[in-house]
Structure 1
Amino acid sequence: MAVTALYRYPVKSMLGERLERCRIDERGVPGDRAYALVDVETGTVATAKVPRRWGALLGFSARCVGEPNGEPPPVEITFPDGSVHHSDDEDIDAALSAAIGREVRLTATPPEGAAFEEVWPDIDGLAPEAVIAGTRVRDEDTGEPVSRFDLAAMAPQPAFFDLAVLHVITTATLRRLRELAPGATFDERRYRPNVVLDGGAADGGADFVENGWVGREIAFAGGATATVSIPTMRCVMTTLAQGDLPRDPDTLRIVAKHNRVEIPGLGTWACAGAYADVTSPGELAVGAPYQVR
């Protein structure tokens, strides 16, 4: 079993960059979610989890300029029109605001009480009804409820992660989803993982192998270890058009139909992949072996 892909997303909700190797530590992949846009009007951290307001972010891509060394690295941002801007440009906020159609500021420092919003599309089984009702702050024009959550609930703070520092998904899970709906576009990029792992047969042929990894340790050949904390709850963002991938609601509907997972204390959620905490720093490389123990 080996690492098949590595990804970093320097600006939250923008397309990221594929890596051949990287180092991970207690804060995840250096440079990952180093920046985010903050809505000037509301103070909310922008995320494509609310597509009508922020889905356009997936038309941008970002990459680190040089390797991060502990500080937020300079980032190059390619806009939907192909123009290239940089995080340290004096007019970057104005350029982003004009392109998105809403006043924003690019920041590497989460605001105090940082939170994000998430819309709940009309798909059965995404999340517990009690959670949706208890976090609901408004409705979209479509009637879809919108919830508000604190950022980085399971990560060292301050940070721009939704929940945890490392997101892992296996080729086995993606393969199973394609078997369940051959006409849907189950591309790994939709799920915005940091690490894609080849695996499946060694895990007993389970449909969604990461479900059984909670509490177990992933040991990478480069010395890094990560302990799996919970399955990854999926959201509307996986369905959106991004890069060369079309909009495809089935990529979420099938997960909600076939892999609802009971998460202790949190209820039952539609899941694919897993979150993990980095327990020992080290190197990751595409093609390098790993073990789950």
Structure 2
Amino acid sequence: MSAASTEVVGHVVRLHRYPVKSMGGERLEAVRITPRGVEGDRAGALVDRGTGRVVSAKRPRTWGAVFGLSASFAGGNGDGPIVVRFEDGETVSSADRRRLEVRLSTLLDRDVAFATESPEGATCEYHWPDMDGLVQDGRTYRDEITSWELPTGEFFDSSSLHVLTTASLEHLRGLVPGSDFHPDRFRPNIIIEPAAGARGFVENAWVGRALHIGEARMQVTKPCLRCVMVTLPQGDLPKDPRVLRAAFDHNGGNVGVKCEVAGAGTVRVGDEVRLA
């Protein structure tokens, strides 16, 4: 598709990869987009040996401590051992899997395995917080546990790429002064600063269209429904239920969009973003 048939809608300002599901990740200057998403993204996860479920901080009363950990690749290229950093500063490599699993199991008070391949039929659980107005697919949820099956062979909840604009974050800050809508709460892969003058939930209008970024192409498939994780404390960010409340009050629970890869390639901070 030629540049003439696309419109410039912004440029990339941040790139992120999350090597282990539900842990903090890495901020990068360039990423390789592969058919399964950002290279090395959600390459690993923890599995509860007692239930066989994949661990997710979406059930924070059980797995919230995972959210305080961060993960990175030792070599920085999305391959090789993954290094997990604990809140006390200790780091343990996945190359020493037994030591890592013992450390994680002690922290979580559950017997967990470190996995780099998703078990067939793998499921996660989600705790819907005690908050009114949380609606998905026409059903209202409140203070209950639901489960879902992960895509075959993957640790993603659904789509392999998550894109977010600075306009959405700025819009939320204006709607709910006093809450910190830091991008880390939303765990995007690509953050885009829209073209001058674009305001509001800009990316809503991109659903069903394609983004051309650097060498990569991605199909925008659906809005990104937010969950309890955006309310959890992490680093200097406090617990804040108003973050999730704002998403449901003002945008149907959505912040950002999910994408599927239509063409592999490298994406860099500063790259122009074109919409087809």
Matched, 1:274 2:243: no
Structure 1 gap segments, 5+ residues each: 134-142, 261-269
Q: TM-score, structure 1 length as denominator? A: 0.87
Distance 1:129 1:159, change over 3 A: closer
Per the alignment, in what secondary structure is the counterpart of residue 198 of structure 1?
A: strand
| Residue 214 to residue 37, structure 1, CA distance change in 2 (3 Å) | same
Paired letter, 2:257: A
- Structure 1: distance between partners of 2:132 and 2:230: 16
Counterpart of 1:3 in structure 2 is 12
Work out which of the residue numbers 65, 74, 77 in structure 1 matches 2:74: 65
Q: What does 1:82-161 align with in structure 2 at a 5 Å threshold?
A: 82-89=89-96, 90-128=98-136, 131=139, 144-152=143-151, 157-161=152-156
1:173 to 164, 168, 178: 168
Contact 1:3–1:285 (Cα < 8 Å) also in 2? yes
Partner of 2:207: 214
> How far does residue 250 in structure 1 lie from its aligned partner after superposition?
0.8
1:103 to partner: Cα distance: 1.0
1:226 and 2:218 are equivalent in the alignment: yes
Listed one character per residue, the Cα deviations across residues 236-257 of structure 1 (whole Å, up to 9, x for unaligned) are: 0000001221111111101110
User: Counterpart of 2:246 in structure 1: which amino acid?
Assistant: I
Q: Secondary structure at the match of 1:14?
A: coil
Matched residues, number = 266
Mapped partners of 1:132, 1:259: distance in 2: 16
Q: Report the Cα distance in structure 2 between the residues aligned to 1:235 and 1:195, rounded to whole angstroms.
A: 19
Q: Which letter does structure 1 place at the counterpart of 2:231?
A: T
The question of whether the paired residues in 1 share the 8 Å contact of 2:11 and 2:270 is answered with yes
Q: Secondary structure at the match of 1:97?
A: helix
User: Residue type matched to 2:144 in 1?
Assistant: P
Return closer, same or farther for 1:99/1:287 CA change in 2, 3 Å cut-off.
same
CA distance in 1, matches of 2:197, 2:164: 15
In the TM superposition, what whole-angstrom CA distance separates every residue of 1:178-216 from its partner, at most 9, and x where no partner exists? 00011001000100000000016465x4x2111111111
Structure 1 equivalent of residue 4 of structure 2: none
Query: How far off its partner does 1:67 sit?
Result: 4.4
Residue of structure 2 aligned with 1:254, choices 224, 246, 249: 246
Give the structure with the higher percent strand: 2
Residue deviations 1:30-85 (CA, integer Å, cap 9, x gap): 1100000001111110010001001111111100112457xx53101111111110
Letter matched to residue 85 of structure 1 = V
Question: How far apart are residue 130 of structure 1 and its match?
Answer: 5.5
Moved more, 59-68 or 113-122: 59-68
CA distance in 1, matches of 2:254, 2:100: 36
Superposition deviation, residue 131 in structure 1: 5.0
The structure 1 segments of at least 4 consecutive aligned residues displaced by more than 3 Å after TM superposition are: 129-133, 200-203
Q: Secondary structure in 1 aligned to 2:37?
A: coil
> Normalising by the residue count of structure 2, what TM-score does the alignment of the two structures yield?
0.92
Note the residue ranges of structure 2 that are not aligned, 5 or more in a row. 1-9
Alpha-carbon RMSD: 1.7
- Are the counterparts in 2 of residues 31 and 73 from structure 1 also a CA contact under 8 Å? no
Task: Give yes or no for contact 2:92–2:99 (8 Å, CA) kept in 1.
Answer: no
Structure 2 CA distance for partners of 1:129 and 1:217, relative to 1, 3 Å: closer
Cα separation, 2, equivalents of 1:244 and 1:101: 25
Identity %: 44
CA distance in 1, matches of 2:135, 2:56: 18
The one-letter code of the counterpart of 1:42 is T
Partner AA of 2:272 in structure 1: P
